[in-house]
Structure 1
């Protein structure tokens, strides 16, 4: 009799939809975190990943786990963000590792370095090639755990006040570019400059710098570079797959219930997919508008690309000899990339090449 009563009661509860979800929600704590982005709100696709992530975490936990995103500078500035999450000033941040190359050049590998991978190869390496585990093994020294959180896709090569056709044209050229990419350009003869995004336009307008790279058409259009530096070069060979991560204070991460960890992992994947999709969807129209405004598209010459490739590999070999963390990550990434291109050249590249030619026809 008791067994029949229990089964009847259970069937009523399931039919009413009152058991499963509330039971899960009631078994987990209410948590409030802060997420400091390294991007301003004006870069809605980059900053928007933090908003998407936070919204999904709340929805999937039925409001139990609330994460409030803040733009760069509202709590902590971009340069201090890694330290802030490391010491738990904030529970987490969102941004690329190459912002902190001054701490360790291996941090740049987590985001992007010249001539390494395209977006799908990077995602495959992180999620299926053991890359994310290697990343977290490395960043544990900074007291953080990371989740891959977006990719802009291959970026543009930047805005130039004059044409650059040969390596000789780069000599002494003052170029707003940072990180390992800056070291590569310096090796090629340019003079790298580190300038915040909001200061790039006036620096180009006054001639304080000769060129500047940012992201790509959708973001670059907002900053008005076409008015003061008309030559728009491609591709940004230093950022074939610039990757952002959600960086989480490691003790805070370890305290979370298993469900919340899985929710955050799922939300990060979704936010990352949306970021890439938004750029892919919005860049074409923005590029058309920029050309209408006077932007003159120019490809980097084969000479410049080959010189950049040579300089990059020389820097990587030098860093690998000095830095075991860099060597471990770089060699793993390079081996994975080289294997990927065995496939890429057969299917992806040949298909895209044909379709681009067919479209032009």
Structure 2
């Protein structure tokens, strides 16, 4: 009896190891871990989990991916390095959570006026794969997606630039520079810490897509959303795989994974747009106010953030080419 229990515990423990063979006699059937920074109930965590299920289905069980959502395996800022070092086999988080680490893909987060999540996602994936930056050569990039236009959500109303002066605003990556350009004080933190920071007054507001008001429950701790669509930035999110584990896959299975990944780009984009609609309904349902900007005021905001784009161009190798490519991709995807 004791022998059987020991064997059972050994078997289950081994199965939990990243990349361990499910069946020692079958070199193709393997188990992989997938670290996802979104909380388990978030629509994007569900979409990523569905990606894992679809890969398992299409490979007829040869690849089994177990998701670990909510930062339970690696915290949001550690997800990328966790994949590189093998703590997890796959990972999903934001490039911007490791500021300065990804200078080329940082272009995606510029305040380019992304119209919606589907366009932002298509542009993010196409740009990353076309440029194929050196900064991502230590992983296999499966796909990239990006949220809809980042807007300003605050506890006090912001109707004009002057209202934002001196306010502490949660932001990450290049959106922190956007906050500064607009006169606010950026405070860096991942989404998972933002609710409590707003609740306790550590920050006065947050720059984020409107979906966060429901998806991360932040609508409960803000009162106003300033609809600054003309400077709508995005935050690009990666889904990457450990390079050694990727290279160990048979070519046929690599092809299947890439096919599913390409399909999931649009799925994530559609999920972002649906989530934005739900986030807006959620915050309005709480009695919060949406503040539109006049054309004149929007022009002031655009002018205020133009130095952020110019600074990227001046301080990033091939920065001008990256920005030009982004603008072309946004125009094409918006048709």
The answer as to 2:204 corresponding to 1:207 is no
User: 1 or 2, which has the higher helix percentage?
Assistant: 1
Q: Go from structure 1 to structure 2 and tell me whether the alpha carbon gap of 1:28 and 1:240 turns closer, same or farther (over 3 Å shift).
A: farther
Out of 298, 307, 315, the position equivalent to 2:291 is: 298
Q: Report the alpha carbon displacement of residue 139 of structure 1 after superposing the two structures with TM.
A: 3.3
TM-score (norm 1): 0.74
- Correspondence for 2:191 among 187, 197, 210: 197
**Structure (1 or 2) with the larger CA radius of gyration:** 1
Q: Please, what TM-score do these two structures have when normalized by structure 2?
A: 0.79
Unaligned runs of 5+ in 1: 1-25, 349-361
Match in the other structure for 1:146 = 141
Residues 76-123 of structure 1 show CA distances to partners (whole Å, capped at 9, x for unaligned) of 11111111222333222112322223324323235x321154445445
Q: Does the CA-based 8 Å contact 1:177-1:194 persist in structure 2?
A: yes
Q: Which moved more, 1:229-238 or 1:77-86?
A: 229-238
CA contact (8 A) 2:119 2:269 kept: no
Q: Deviations over 1:171-216 (max 9, x none)?
A: 1011111211111210221001123434433433343322123432
Name the stretch that deviates more: 118-127 or 272-281: 118-127
Question: 1:48 is matched with which residue?
Answer: 46
Q: 5+ residue gaps in structure 2?
A: 1-24
Aligned to 2:316, which of 310, 317, 323? 323
State how many pairs are aligned: 310
Preserved CA contact (<8 Å) 1:171 1:189: yes
What is the rounded CA distance, in whole Å, between the counterparts of 1:181 and 1:198 in structure 2?
A: 17
Q: Which secondary structure does the structure 1 equivalent of 2:183 belong to?
A: coil
- 2:120, 2:147 within 8 Å by CA — same for their partners in 1? no
Does structure 2 conserve the Cα–Cα contact (< 8 Å) formed by 1:99 and 1:108?
no
1:267 to 250, 254, 260: 260
Structure 2 partner of 1:29:
28
Match of 1:6 in 2: none
The verdict on how the C-alpha distance between 1:284 and 1:104 changes in structure 2, with shifts beyond 3 A counting, is closer
